[in-house]
Structure 1
Amino acid sequence: MIASILITLAKERSSRDVAQGQSKEFVSQVPGAVIWWLDDDVELTRQMRERLLASGWQLRTFHRPEPLIGALRTSHPDLLLLDQRLPAQLGTELLHQLREQGHLFPVLMLSGMGSAEDRILGLEKGAQDYLVKPFHGRELLLRCEQLLRSDQRRAITPIPQEQRITLGEVIFRPHEGSLQSPGHPDVILSRGERILLLALCRAPGRVLSREHLALASGSLAPASHSRSIDMRLSRLRRLLKQVSAGSLRIETVRTHGYALHTDATAPASEESSA
């Protein structure tokens, strides 16, 4: 009974903090980042949704583990917000499973249990940060920003589920850095080119800024002061045209960034038994 009352009070306090913080504008330096949030507190995720979107991020919410596990077969987030008390499972148990499967995206644990032992357990299971409920809305935004910026200063790498990515008639194998298409010689990409293509494949049809691509490639230099992204994109465009006869292309959206498009089917990831 007491635990139930404490949880209710915590939710009410979170709701007040969210409402009080709505007027404080926050704009991320990692625009376009994809955040997934697994939490059975539907009201809390609804209240925070607009603030996360207004910060420049994309948000996908889950209220049970099963849909999230299913979604990981074809895509993954740049950051996962993970509640500890889930239906029929603890968040730390799920996190342990995800790390065992090779998922390396950063995780921010959210929990009403704030003892030192609880925080240590979350970190031991693979979380990068731990935020105790109830929390102030702006603190959640700042924690997300810190994790996104620190993680994207490391070049992205393909996960086990990305053995093969289908782009129309072109097969992209990120681990090997190869492009394959019927009737065309295989194309081998440089490390920088395969990272850029992988970043674009993870956001099919979505516009990614130069800053986003620079961070994904592990560059610490400001994108506005470096021409390496332009040079890699230029060569990557030529290679994509060569292997796809022009059906697979990187389009420039003026003042916004770049997006990957194909005239055939939408990009999809799949595990390969080969």
Structure 2
Amino acid sequence: MNLISSNASDAPARQILLVDDDILLHKLLEEYLCQHDYHIDALQCGEEISEFLQHQQPDFILLDIMMPGKDGLHWLRWLKKYHEHIPVMLLSAKKSAQERLQGLEFGADDYLTKPFHPKELLIRIRNIMRDRPLANGRVIHKIGSSFFDPVHEHLERDNTTIKLTTQESGLLQFFCQNPGQILTRDAISLALYGNDYQPMNRSIDMTINRLRKKLDDNATTPRYLCTVWRKGYRLTLDS
């Protein structure tokens, strides 16, 4: 197996398998996507997929259609039969509508025509993976234009990583688990502090104010973390 993988010593949260015989594309995507908290493993032909999946479970697969041996459509059908939980995006230099429709009929989650801009690929991957469990059981939450990783305790927005404190991350995760619901200060305090919380503790309000700034949320007219007068707070995922 000819396997190319990133050299990061601490593997990022999201694992992507790229199956394409274009070595230059391997290097381009590995360099670009690793800057955005993705770990890339790359194979040069579909025949290596089965062996790879016996040892690792990626969160996402980028699959070229035109490869030596059996083409990407064959391997797409195989993946959807034996590993249907893994989202797959097809890559192709062809602009044939028939090929694109066939790939979508076979279960592809998306289809991108070469050449493409790496940022477009990144956006498409994020849109497919938002609020989808990762291979290790984690979930990335999309809040407006931000992506929240509760395990690594950070937000990602406009190609920038914004660190959160443990309290900020815990609070935001509680809101993400209850989107659109009004959460009282007591309920929030119990979730964060358990029986040790103090009803008059104002740290919740201060944490929410910090989160609003990090979410690019206007403190006067917030779009995401809204105050519901005399009731509590509510998280809206889309502005």
| TM-score bucket (shorter structure) | 0.5 to 0.7
C-alpha distance in 2, partners of 1:147/1:43? 25
Could you tell me which runs of 5 or more consecutive residues in structure 2 were left unpaired when the two chains were aligned: 1-11, 139-149, 156-168, 178-189, 192-239
- Moved segments of 4+, more than 6 Å: none
Secondary structure in 2 matching 1:134: coil
C-alpha distance in 2, partners of 1:142/1:117? 24
Q: Quick one: percent identity of the two aligned structures? A: 31
Q: 1:209 aligns with which of 134, 138, 152?
A: 152
Q: Is the 8 A contact 2:62 2:89 kept in 1?
A: yes
Name the counterpart of 1:199: 137
- 2:107 equivalent to 1:126: yes
CA offsets per residue over residues 173-232 of structure 1, 9 Å max, x none? xxxxxxxxxxxxxxxxxxxxxxxxx537xxxxxx942579xxxxxxxxx85334599x99
- 2:36 equivalent to 1:55: yes
Name the counterpart of 1:225: 172
Structure with the greater relative contact order (CA < 8 A, sep ≥ 6): 1 or 2?
Answer: 1
Note the C-alpha offset of 1:155. 4.6
CA 1:223/1:146 → structure 2, altered by over 3 Å: closer, same or farther? Answer: farther
CA 1:199/1:116 → structure 2, altered by over 3 Å: closer, same or farther? Answer: same
- 2:88 equivalent to 1:89: no
TM-score by length of 1: 0.47
* Matched letter for residue 104 of structure 2: L
Q: Is the 8 A contact 2:65 2:92 kept in 1?
A: yes
CA 1:211/1:92 → structure 2, altered by over 3 Å: closer, same or farther? Answer: farther
Matches within 5 A, 1:109-148: 109-148=90-129
- 2:15 equivalent to 1:34: yes
Query: Aligned-residue CA RMSD in angstroms?
Result: 3.2
C-alpha distance in 2, partners of 1:208/1:61? 25
TM-score by length of 2: 0.53
C-alpha distance in 2, partners of 1:155/1:48? 23
